[in-house]
Structure 1
């Protein structure tokens, strides 16, 4: 998968992205405190996510992908569409983003979110899209609300802790 927004490239996992991803997942406490399990992951947890949840080819569209700065090719973070059943529908997709803190506050989360909204609606012909965020992650919640999603419920997950679930119908 190789897609883009105005400022970003959205690409499938490639070997040269292993270390930046590993550093983000397993060493960056600042970022990971509001993502996944609310902590850095072990190497095994990271390798499981890489093997099972990342897109490793150019044909799939469901899964995690890497985000690069279009002008510098620098690693920004990762994003993706993943299946979820927060609202009882196994056909639902959730979009999400985890960005290195150097890229916070620059509008990248909103840009990525709008990309996935358009992609789900226009390319995948989905009737709606979901997003979820930790109740403590005010920046992500603000970005999600700015994109026109509405908070619909709070859930508790063994894997991810408490999450607010947001919905946008097309």
Structure 2
């Protein structure tokens, strides 16, 4: 998968992205305490996520992908759309983003979110898209609301703790 926004490239996993991803998932407590599972992952957990949840080719559309800065080629974080059943519909997809703190406050989360909203509506032809965030992740909640999603409810999750669920209908 090779897609882009105005400032970012969205790419499937490539070998040269292993270390930046590993460092984000397994060593970056600042970022991971508010995202994904709410903690850094073990190497085994990271390898499982990489093998099972990341898009490893240019054909698949559902899963995690890497985000690079178009100008610098710097690793920004990861994003993606994944299946979820937060609201009782097995066909729902959730978009999300986890950005390295060096890239916070630059509007990248909103840019990525708008990309997934457009992708869900125009490419996947969905009726709605969901997003979920930790109630403590105020920056992500702000970005999600800025994108026009509406908070639906708070839910407990097995692996990710409590999450606020947001929805946008098309």
Asked whether 1:157 is paired with 2:166, we answer no
**Cα shift at 1:48:** 0.4
- Corresponding position of 1:143: 143
* Higher deviation after alignment, 13-22 or 31-40: 31-40
**Cα shift at 1:36:** 1.8
**Cα shift at 1:83:** 0.2
- Corresponding position of 2:32: 32
- Match of 2:148, SS state, is coil
Where do 4+ consecutive residues of structure 1 move more than 6 Å? none
**Cα shift at 1:158:** 1.5
Unaligned stretches of 5+ residues in structure 2: none
- Corresponding position of 2:52: 52
- Corresponding position of 1:114: 114
| Residues 51-101 of structure 1, C-alpha deviations (whole Å, 9 max, x = no match) | 000000000000000000000100000000000000000000000000000
- Match of 1:31, SS state, is helix
- Corresponding position of 1:82: 82
CA distance in 2, matches of 1:158, 1:92: 18
RMSD of aligned Cα (Å): 0.4
Which TM-score applies when normalising by structure 1?
Answer: 0.99
**Cα shift at 1:13:** 0.1
CA distance in 2, matches of 1:84, 1:158: 13
Which TM-score applies when normalising by structure 2?
Answer: 0.99
**Cα shift at 1:44:** 0.5
Unaligned stretches of 5+ residues in structure 1: none
**Cα shift at 1:37:** 1.8
- Corresponding position of 1:99: 99
- Match of 1:120, SS state, is helix
**Cα shift at 1:143:** 0.1
Aligned pairs, number: 170
